Amino acid sequence: MKESNLQNKILHATKWSTITEVAAKLVSPITNMILARILVPEAFGVVATVTMIISFADMFTDSGFQKYLVQHEFKDKDEKYKNANVAFWTNFGISVLLWIIVTIFREQLAAFVGNPGLGNVIAISCMQLPLTSFSSIQMALYRRDFNYKTLFVVRIIAVFIPFAITIPLALFGLGYWALIIGSIAIQFSNAIILTAKSEWKPKLYYNVKILKEMFSFSIWSLIEAISIWLTSWVDAFIIGNVLNRYYLGLYKTSTTMVNALMALITGSTTSVLFSTLSRLQHDEDNFYYMYLKFQRLVSVLVFPLGIGVYLYSDLATQILLGSQWSEASGVIGIWALTSSIMIIFGHYCSEIYRAKGMPKLSFLAQILHLIVLVPACVISAKYGFWALVYTRSWIRLQFVLVHLIIMKFAIGFPVLKIFKNVFPTAFGATCMGLFGFLLRRLNEGLLWSIVSIVLCALFYFGILFLFPSMRKEIFGLMRRLFPKNKISKGLLG
């Protein structure tokens, strides 16, 4: 009964998380399409620089307490809320301190990241730090309880803010300030709504003993977060210093667009998977079963999406960004292809480490990757922008290899099962890619591209349904997500 209840919670959470991501990703591209036609790549380059600094400071603001609140088993609600209060006041204090430090050293920071003269922009943008401390703890508690319906409301309001603030300001000629003000407004909205709707409210309570216990877990999450930040931003840092704002904007906007597209799937599953595995951390069989189930279902969409965007990167760029971004096509294509491999074979491994309370392993994986990544980016940058793009994209396969080795020897996970688990989807997506390549050689017109994309999708699912296990899995999921009796009631009443 308990297992059935957990599965229902997981399905309910996944459904609302997916609805949230789908809705957000349907609206966000429209925002990006409009802004990309109003603003030049240099404006996005400035924002990328600012985001680099904010995301670094944000790691210290959160201090890994979000993951602790999700992963830790509390004896009762009172203990949980006491931990939440300690986490909140710690986060808030650190965020204010960091904002002051950034403001004092704003010009030096701007020069360090390759954009001298942007000190005031960075200082004002860091207003977001105290705001995120108001919402991060509530988000953790919602995720712990699988309450993704409330997070849906918050996210939907946030994705519509650019239409009310960012786009009008961009039309008035504010350039990168439009993007920055829009980001601050989103964080302000999140803080207000989550605090108002949350059952837990910050109280004047603090306990150093609780802080020490939380910090003993969170210190490794924080160190891991720093290593993830380095992995995510080292390429942007090198482009900003070696090249210029144009190429930085071109690169980060392209990769961000692909990441947002992939997040339509990963964003709706990663946090749910972590919450689920955290609850099953002492049940080995169900723990691994749930991981493989998530991985396989995600691969159904991620593999064909990565290959499809690679094949039709010109069309995707034209639709989403416009003609002034034609150079972005090459970045978008290769990043989508390697992202699909990275997500399926590497992305979810970190959730296993964290759910088992072993963030050190994730940190180890990041360090082993950085040892190869940093020299590869530095050397390739000497040969130009495109050499760096292709090197940075394909070097991610080394990261996948590192994860698989850790999963095998540190976790004891049978790695061969990972490949067997996704063989049907990998095979189907590869065949679809070859089919799509042949279709593209027949004609290059817009109408034919759209027709061939539909044919590729039908071809892929046709191959997938040749595997009985995939038919059973997909139909089973659809029946649980959309029960006939609920559909009937919805149609009748």
**Statement: the pTM of the whole predicted model exceeds 0.75:** no
Min mean pLDDT across 52-61, 124-133, 424-433, 462-471 is at 52-61
Average pLDDT value for the chain = 80
Domain extent at residue 214: 2-421
Query: Is there a domain that residue 460 lies in?
Result: no
Give the tokens for residue 482: 């959309």
* Model confidence pLDDT, tens digit, residues 350-379: 888 877 777 788 888 989 999 999 999 999
Give the tokens for residue 437: 């390549």
**At 476, is the pLDDT very low, low, confident or very high (cuts 50, 70, 90)?**
low
Query: Is there a domain that residue 462 lies in?
Result: no
Query: Is there a domain that residue 157 lies in?
Result: yes
Judged on CB neighbours under 10 Å (0-12, 13-18, 19+), 409 is exposed
Number of domains in the chain: 1
CA distances from 214 to 85, 239, 338, 350, 451 (A): 12, 37, 36, 20, 54
Taking Cα atoms as reference points, which of 127, 143, 229, 142 lies closest to residue 187?
Answer: 127
The type of residue at 208 is V
Residue 493: what pLDDT?
40
Residue 490: what pLDDT?
44
Say whether pLDDT at 7 is over 70: no
Taking Cα atoms as reference points, which of 7, 1, 5 lies closest to residue 286?
Answer: 7
Answer with the residue of higher pLDDT: 126 or 271. 126
- Identify the DSSP state of 311: H
Query: Is there a domain that residue 484 lies in?
Result: no
Residue 430: what pLDDT?
95
Taking Cα atoms as reference points, which of 215, 132, 130, 120 lies closest to residue 177?
Answer: 120
Question: With DSSP H G I counted as helix, E B as strand and the rest as coil, what are the percentages for the chain, rounded to 5?
Answer: 85, 0, 15
Angle ∠(10,15,17) on CA atoms, nearest 5:
90
Cβ–Cβ under 8 Å, residues 24 and 157: no
Residue with tokens 């959470």: 13
Backbone torsions φ then ψ of 243, nearest 5 degrees? -105, -120
Tell me the mean pLDDT in the region 311-337.
86
Residue 91: what pLDDT?
83
* Model confidence pLDDT, tens digit, residues 407-420: 888 888 888 888 99
Give the tokens for residue 367: 């360090």
Min mean pLDDT across 99-103, 208-212, 421-425, 481-485 is at 481-485
Gap between the Cα atoms of 49 and 118, Å rounded: 9
Could you tell me how many residues make up the chain?
493
SS (H, E, C) 169-207: HHHCCCCHHHHHHHHHHHHHHHHHHHHHHCCCCCCCCCC
Query: Is there a domain that residue 250 lies in?
Result: yes
Helix pair 423-442, 468-481: axis angle to 10 deg: 100
